[in-house]
A and B are shown apart, each in its own frame.
Chain A
Amino acid sequence: MERMRRVGLAGFVIVALVAGLSIRPVAQGTSLTVLSREGRKPLALTSINNQDYVSVDDINTLFATTSRDDRQAGALTITARTRNVVLSENQNIVSVSGRLVSLPAPPVRRDNRWFVPVDFLPRALALALESRIDLRRPSRLLIVGDLRVPRVVARVDAGPTNVVVTFDVTPNTESRVVAQQGRLLLQFEADALELVAPTLPPQTFLLGLAAGDTGASVLLTTGPRYASHRVSTSQADAGSGRVTIDLLPSTTIETPSPTAPPPPDTRTLLVPQGPSTGLRTVVIDPGHGGEELGAQGPKGTLEKDITLSVARRLRTLIESRLGLKVYLTREDDRTMSLDDRSAFANSHQADVFLSIHGNAAVRPALKGAEVYYLTVERADEETRKRADDDATVLPALGGGSRTINLILWETAQARYLEQSAALAGFVERALSTKVEMSPRAMQQAPFRVLVGANMPAALVEIGYLSNVDQETQLGSAEYQDLVAQALMDALVKFREFLEP
């Protein structure tokens, strides 16, 4: 408790303590890394019934809470400051000063020690401590208090001679690049980073990409062929920003640079060139991932792998041909909730959201692609009206006020249904020119991933993994390219539709 109270007082002095907190991509160990103003500490995870649990003893040590075990009642009371959290064995609802909070699994007592699901920390303990506790499951990070820990997703694309490193930063955070001997340091105005680093392509002069050891930074290690770099940042009005570092080799620097007709990074250049359309940012959602395998073909092909591969191909096509900003909801094989996927599209202010899936049926003969947009279950007009009405005036930074539209998550997609239907229509037509369609090529369904999308959105089933022939097709580069090409064609049509 003492420790938590000091948090606010320590101020910037302690930022120095936090220096060096950058996190390695995804910690594989069985512990969480707890980040607070005090520094970095491990918190052991115990797997019980395939869920991550933490021991209450460890929580007491880390958060200066106390606990009292009432064996007769099968209950445990955790006291945090002045608030009590009451847990009952095998009951996955806990009480925080009388307020009920659900857990994904019940607390467990083992060998006289209590264990709680890891979600207990952000859901219940945060309420009791009146402190922000942010659990970032994929990175096994637990952030306590108001630390600035942006998520930085790095991507490396090897060009013919150059190497382009792209960092998507959420929330958008100021940064600068410092060149040092044999390396570049990308330094963020933050307390720490949640860095997702990719595997580097072989045989380039980018030798390493890792968390830097001085504060919230990323360290790029360059080989002798590196000569110079160019940095561009796109600080969109969205919650995210993008930093692109173009690394140029020593042999070819002078030839393309002076006039630079086709610069390697088309993203930042093609956007302003294009006509002013309503389509600037596309979010592609590779369905499933991590523990959520999705459908599985008879030969073992996994939906989650196919969807990621198609999404990457589609991104490359759109970026190079249309010059739009493209973000994937997941860059790798990770578990991600459906609401997080649409939230990602919302926070990136996407103009279109496409979720990519592979299908399965009880009838092995069934094959073909399908497109879905959302059914709204309740009275559509009422929902949409409510979505349009909720304008709210908020104070703006620097004085004055601005009106923003606040909408309920459940009504977000309702106002885009007509555009989503049009989008689905373009996707269906474009796909039908390239690949076989299912007998029910376009449908509506109450799909969760579309519900919260605050933009035109569709879900594409690119084929049936349950059909042996189609499973082979779906795994092939040719088929995946055909699908990606069709989806890009559909986006071109949709752009014309938005801005005739």
Chain B
Amino acid sequence: MIAGTVVVAIGLAYALFSGLSRVLTGPTPDAAAGAGAPSAPAAATAPVVPKIKATLFFASEDGLRLAPVQSDVPLADGPVAQARAIVEAQLTAEPPAALARTIPAGVTLRGLFVSQNNEAFVDLDPSIKSGHPGGSLQELLTVYTIVNVLLTNLPTLQQVQILIDGHEADTLAGHVDLRRPLRKNEGLIQPSNTTPAVTLPSPSPQ
């Protein structure tokens, strides 16, 4: 039984690593090449980087939900690259004053892939696990920040699965099941009429 589970898990992991170009769709040159390398961060160096408005998420003032915040994210070439840019913006963005981070600072994106079924696989570095403070609520907020930021901004995506250091993981901190792709969690999002009208102090708006 264990062997069966293992083989299934490996099948997926192996497919992700070795057979990406065959298994996956999307702007493939970018998807295959960018596996480990961070794509252009929202740096102020490039003079004319077009931006899009995207919704990022932070812990609400009462700490119970995800507060949506509009922010500028670099426009990228194709949905996979755009997904990557959005997750990178979420990982690096500083929260507005009233809100708080849901993802430990310094976590980086190792890779992001999209399957034929429009499931996004987000591969994060291990500090997402080692730097996590624990607790169900905090873990839910962390996981659904990643899931919701993709599914809110890129409606063609259906589900999101988080990988850690290139592998499937049971959980981040002992609670939320990461072995399967997750759907958007609307219930965790703070209704927008209570969202503080704060814009992200991010690089130059276009």
Residues of chain A at the chain B interface (Cβ within 8 Å):
92-93, 99-102, 122-123, 127, 287-288, 292-296, 303, 337-339, 357-363, 365-366, 370, 372, 377, 409-410, 438-440, 443-449, 451, 459, 461, 464-466
What are the residues of chain B within 8 A of A93 when measuring CB–CB?
10, 13-14
Q: How many residues of B contact A (CB 8 A)?
A: 42
Q: Do B3 and A127 touch (CB < 8 A)?
A: yes
What are the residues of chain A within 8 A of B140 when measuring CB–CB?
445
Q: Contacts A93-B10, A338-B170 given: A377-B180 contact, CB under 8 Å?
A: yes
Which residue of chain B lies nearest to A444 when distances are taken between CB atoms in the complex? B187
Report the stretch among B40-48, B70-78, B105-113, B128-136 that lies at the interface.
B128-136
State the CA gap A123–B176 with chains docked (Å). 25
Instruction: Decide if B183 is an interface residue (CB 8 Å cutoff).
Output: yes
Q: Contacts A127-B3, A461-B136 given: A362-B182 contact, CB under 8 Å?
A: no
Interface string of B139-177 (1 = CB under 8 A from A): 011000000000000000001000000010011011111
Which residue of chain B lies nearest to A339 when distances are taken between CB atoms in the complex? B170
A133 to chain B, nearest CB (A): 11
Instruction: Decide if B198 is an interface residue (CB 8 Å cutoff).
Output: no
Which of B14, B136, B175, B187 lies in contact with A100, CB distance below 8 A?
A: B14
- A/B pair count, beta carbons within 8 Å: 125
B61 to chain A, nearest CB (A): 8
Sample of 5 A–B contacts (CB below 8 Å): A359-B136, A365-B63, A377-B180, A448-B171, A464-B135
Most buried by B among A294, A295, A451, A464: A295
Q: Do B10 and A303 touch (CB < 8 A)?
A: no
Q: Contacts A100-B14, A102-B9 given: A360-B3 contact, CB under 8 Å?
A: no
Which of A92, A123, A410, A465 lies in contact with B135, CB distance below 8 A?
A: A465
State the CA gap A288–B139 with chains docked (Å). 14
Q: Do A451 and B9 touch (CB < 8 A)?
A: no
State the CA gap A218–B51 with chains docked (Å). 71
Q: Contacts A101-B6, A361-B63 given: A287-B135 contact, CB under 8 Å?
A: no
What are the residues of chain B within 8 A of A362 when measuring CB–CB?
59, 63, 100-102, 133, 138, 141
What are the residues of chain B within 8 A of A293 when measuring CB–CB?
134
Interface positions, chain B 1-40, Cβ under 8 Å from A, are: 2-3, 5-7, 9-11, 13-14
What are the residues of chain B within 8 A of A445 when measuring CB–CB?
136, 140, 175-176
State the CA gap A127–B3 with chains docked (Å). 9
B191 to chain A, nearest CB (A): 14
